Copies of this chain bind each other. A is one copy, B any other.
Amino acid sequence: MKKRITLADVASAAGVSLMTVSRAINNKPGVGEDMRLAIVKLAEELGYQPNQIARSLATNFTTTVGLVVPDNTNPFFAQIARGVEDTAYKQNYNIFLVNTGENPAREQAALDSLWQKGVDGLILCSSRLPGESLEIEFSRFPAVVLINRELKDPVAHAITINVDDRRGAHRAIKYFREQGRQHIAYIDGPATSLSAKRRLEGYQSALEEAGIGFEPDLVECCAPDTEGGRIATASLIARAPKIDAIYCFNDLVAVGAIQMVRESGKKVPEDIAIIGVDDIPLATIIRPQITTLHVNLRHIGRLAMRTLLDVIEGGSSATAIQIEPVLVVRESA
């Protein structure tokens, strides 16, 4: 392991003081232009790289942010993480990635750890922490962006970004109606899920708006995967044979629904139309290709990081951002 070259090394090699080198390298005023060029050149030749740790200790800034997700393996968060990292890179920030595994204790431990490392800001996805704990966190981190979680009252230097699930559900149902569908079912996700709740609301309000009553019989909860979709679809068909459209919690559920509809002898989309949510790669691989609600998650990640930087720099803009899903029409509806 090579020895580190410090500012002092560069300074003595250049025959000037520490501060002159510091100023030259950080492009701060107080150095002559020719001197600055000479120093920068020398520093490069010597292979000087600033010690960010020392710099952080002196300035109280780390050019580092924390990104906390339940599971970076989930494509939803992977896409967001990629977006965050992309714009972080452009701004010379680094990100600490932490998984919580949906475990509040681990989440809390992660936040403590990030705090100890002095991150300039925090992007918190689908936090499972109770509201009071969140407020404590807001008060100690300089800036926080909350993704997929709502806040009762707006908080200074905390900004929320949410997908507008209600509106998305609304759009899907409206599309079904435009196609003349009469009996629209909804396969919801786990009852604990925030998005599940919001989508159900959108489903209900769209039905009421369309003048069709909401029938609890046409709603079924399930595990958010293919198998869950199969089971839920089977019981829906058994219970309400007239249904001619199903709005699904996500694309995996939609795949299960498609499989089960076919196994029951009906056709997609002729007899029963299906709309999913997420637009995962699989949506275009299977036949029929899935009509689905798409959100640009990578874009959300970029937006989150940009917003966070705004807050860090004091230019706190909005307080709650809503992202609208786009209906991508393919073959299943």
Contacts and interface: CB of A to CB of B under 8 A. Distances in A.
Contacts of A96: 64, 94-97
Interface string A294-305: 000010000000
A115 B49 contact: yes
A94 B72 contact: no
**Most B Cβ at <10 Å: residue of A54, A73, A298:** A73
A139 B72 contact: no
A330 interface: no
A71 interface: yes
B117 A53 contact: yes
A276 interface: no
A71 B82 contact: yes
B116 A49 contact: yes
Interface residues of A, number: 52
Contacts of A141: 1
**Most B Cβ at <10 Å: residue of A71, A96, A255:** A96
6 contacts: A53-B62, A73-B78, A75-B78, A89-B99, A282-B282, A285-B286
A113 interface: yes
Contacts of A72: 72, 78, 81-82, 85, 97
A98 B118 contact: no
Contact of A49 (B112, B139, B286): B112
A79 interface: yes
A184 B116 CA distance: 57
A99 B86 contact: yes
Interface in A27-65: 49-54, 56-57, 62, 64
A298 B86 CA distance: 24
Given A89-B110, A98-B85, A54 B51 contact: no
A118 B82 contact: no
A62 B49 CA distance: 17
Contacts of A92: 113
A97 B71 contact: no
Contacts of A52: 116-118
A86 to B, nearest CB: 7
